[in-house]
Structure 1
Amino acid sequence: MENITSNLTELLILIFIIITFLQSGIDKASDWGGNTGWLKDHFSGTILAGMVPLMVGIILIIEVITGLLAVAGIWKILASNDPTLALYSCVLACITLLMLLFGQRIAKDYAGAFTLTGYFIVCMFGVYIMS
């Protein structure tokens, strides 16, 4: 119980990452056609237009790994008060969000890019407190 109360902020950030990234990865996997179809239209006319399936596949894999690292990070914090895996999850979440931000900026979807800012702040705060 002491590990929960002394690491409450870290645990809540990790739960946020699990919900955000695992749900997104599962959504991409379960509706591959819908996601790639929408993104092909979103990136049409950009330098990324021909790479949509590859980009979605890479993001899907990284999102799932990020979410699973967050699950493992929670377990490691609760079992031994070790935030190493949690830190890796937060760092990978930040890298993923930067990749998504790059895509949104290339597509000139400035509102979508702005939306990622809140997610990035939460994940960067996780990096800060776990490092």
Structure 2
Amino acid sequence: MTHDTNENQQWLARQRERLLERRAQLLHQVREQHEVAADQAESQADEGAALSTHPADAASDLAEAEISVTVGLTLQEELHEIDMALERLDNGSYGICIDCGKPISRERLEAIPWALRCIACQEQWEARREVHGAR
């Protein structure tokens, strides 16, 4: 029993390391994203008033801004999921499905260390979101 407990603690420690590493990567990407947005804003300000901008340029700027916002939101969402997974590691609920309360397979957690749900519950959750037209 002690061997299994020790092995499980080592696995959890590796998962924590993976989560912290991914968190650091995301924070770096968020910083880069902020720098890109600031550069875009500065560039647009340097170009002058909006009235002198060609409509095609304005549309291109808008598309770039929308992409930037979407990427930023995606990064923030994943960062939040990782922070929640680290909290679950701290409180002992890591690897337990938030819907059915059963263990999430190690294979799933190896693939997605911040997974909240077992595969069956995740599929049901995604199907409900699709039916209700959720984002």
Output the TM-score relative to the length of structure 2: 0.41
Structure having greater relative contact order (Cα 8 Å, sep ≥ 6): 1
Computing the radius of gyration over CA atoms, which structure comes out larger, 1 or 2?
2
Output the TM-score relative to the length of structure 1: 0.42
